[in-house]
Amino acid sequence: MRIKLSANRYGKNAVNLSRIIRHEGYHEFRQVSVSVALTGDFDAAHTLGDNSRILPTDTQKNTVYALAREHFTSSIEAFGLTLSQHFLSRNPPVSQVRIELVEHLWQRLAFDGVPHPHSFTGGGSEKRTTVVTRTAAGPAVSSGLKGLLLLKTTDSAFVGYPKDEFTVLPETSDRILATECEASWNYVTTELDFDSRHQQIRQSLLRTFAGHQSHSVQHTLYAIGEKILQENDVVAEISLIMPNKHHIPFNLEPFGQPNTNEIFVATDAPFGYITGTVTREP
Ligand SMILES: O=c1[nH]c(=O)c2[nH]c(=O)[nH]c2[nH]1
């Protein structure tokens, strides 16, 4: 039986990069985690121990910092495009570059409505994300967000599901719907104002979540995806992960009290895990 190397790639993960952009009288602050992965002809490294085609991951890490000074000045997508171009154009064995960026969303402090020039607070669990891949055929960008906590206190139901001898879940026409949303969408072009497009898609996601008469997490997931595709020709497809962060009505009967859909226990585990991709018909 012949044995050979199959799929492989390598790179540096979680290059933590922070930068100040200094303006007269105020600063901007950005923080990203960058992961680089190279695919290509690295067979000899694996089978013979020949490193002559292996750009060290340490060099990859240094390249991220070195290019950041000049090129990490706008969106994470633009920086990803620059990094991917750099690695692909300078390393002949490389056939595909994958750059993943996760941005921490620092918010400027404000006092009495006046933005502070150089102080920030952490942006919570939400992160902005992008993956830029590049081959000789060109670049592709998919962007998104993760860690976005969402909750609504009504306009969410779950009824009409099949019941068997193990079903105890009561049907409900009015429940809490809560999730920690992760979304990623593919752009059909890289000629975009990535920042404003991100804000527009995020806003559309939030508005749809809030306004939807939800019959299930699945129903809301699809509504969000459908809306984003309807409003954004530049998006080919969107994938969503929407875990169901259950809030279970707490039984107050032992204490002689009614629970009129007001007191809940939020449970961490187990949790429903709902994922889906919404795409365009060919
Ligand atoms: O929105 C929901 N989808 C489900 O698939 C499901 N299953 C469940 O027990 N509760 C819920 N809620």
Residue 143 lies in a domain: no
Per-residue confidence (pLDDT) for residue 199, from 0 to 100: 98
Kindly state whether residues 120 and 153 are assigned to the same domain.
Answer: no
Q: Is the CB of 216 under 6 A from ligand 1?
A: yes
Beta strands in 122-208 (DSSP E): 127-135, 138-152, 177-187
| Selection from 211, 11, 218 nearest residue 99 by Cα | 11
Ligand-binding annotation for 175, yes or no, is: yes
Instruction: Give me the count of residues in the chain.
Output: 282
Kindly state whether residues 156 and 129 are assigned to the same domain.
Answer: no
Ligand-binding annotation for 186, yes or no, is: no
Residue 5 lies in a domain: no
Ligand-binding annotation for 98, yes or no, is: no
Ligand-binding annotation for 58, yes or no, is: yes
Alpha helices in 134-216 (DSSP H): 194-211
Q: Is the CB of 169 under 6 A from ligand 1?
A: yes
Residue with tokens 């799929």: 7
Verify whether residue 57 is a known catalytic residue.
yes
Q: Which of 108, 136, 164 is the last residue of a domain?
A: 136
Q: Per the omega criterion (within 30 degrees of 0), is the bond before 270 cis?
A: yes
CB-count exposure of residue 205 (10 Å: 0-12, 13-18, 19+):
buried
Residue 2 lies in a domain: no
Residue 61 lies in a domain: yes
Q: What is the ipTM of this complex?
A: 0.99
Q: Which two tokens stand for residue 55?
A: 């750009």
Per-residue confidence (pLDDT) for residue 233, from 0 to 100: 97
Cα distance between residue 214 and residue 173, in whole Å: 10
Kindly state whether residues 26 and 117 are assigned to the same domain.
Answer: yes
Q: Is the CB of 87 under 6 A from ligand 1?
A: no
Kindly state whether residues 21 and 122 are assigned to the same domain.
Answer: yes
Cα distance between residue 60 and residue 11, in whole Å: 7
Residue 23 lies in a domain: yes
Nearest CA to ligand 1 atom 1: 216
CATH number at residue 64: 3.10.270.10
Verify whether residue 12 is a known catalytic residue.
yes
Kindly state whether residues 85 and 175 are assigned to the same domain.
Answer: no
**In which residue ranges of the chain is pLDDT below 50?**
none
CA distances for 220 relative to 176, 214, 223, 275, angstroms: 13, 6, 5, 11
Kindly state whether residues 89 and 156 are assigned to the same domain.
Answer: no
| Contact indicator for 234, 190 with CB cutoff of 8 Å | no
> How far is C-alpha 225 from the chain's CA centre?
14
Residue with tokens 């997931």: 221
Q: Which of 136, 165, 198 is the last residue of a domain?
A: 136
Kindly state whether residues 162 and 247 are assigned to the same domain.
Answer: yes
Q: Enter the pTM of the model.
A: 0.96
Kindly state whether residues 176 and 238 are assigned to the same domain.
Answer: yes
Supply φ then ψ for residue 70, to 5 degrees: -90, -30
Supply the range of the domain harboring residue 33: 10-136
Kindly state whether residues 268 and 157 are assigned to the same domain.
Answer: yes
Cα distance between residue 253 and residue 11, in whole Å: 58
Nearest CA to ligand 1 atom 8: 272
Q: Which of 115, 136, 157 is the last residue of a domain?
A: 136
Kindly state whether residues 128 and 166 are assigned to the same domain.
Answer: no
- What is the tally of structural domains in the chain? 2
Residues 73, 39, 90, 46, Cα dihedral to 10°: 130
Kindly state whether residues 238 and 154 are assigned to the same domain.
Answer: yes
Site to substitute for ligand 1 among 244, 245, 267, most atoms within 8 A of C-beta: 244
Verify whether residue 247 is a known catalytic residue.
no
SS3 assignment, position 232: coil
Cα distance between residue 44 and residue 112, in whole Å: 63
Site to substitute for ligand 1 among 152, 159, 161, 271, most atoms within 8 A of C-beta: 161
Residue 260 lies in a domain: yes
CA distances for 265 relative to 26, 167, 246, 272, 274, angstroms: 44, 20, 8, 16, 21
Kindly state whether residues 272 and 153 are assigned to the same domain.
Answer: yes
| Identity of residue 251 | N
Per-residue confidence (pLDDT) for residue 282, from 0 to 100: 87
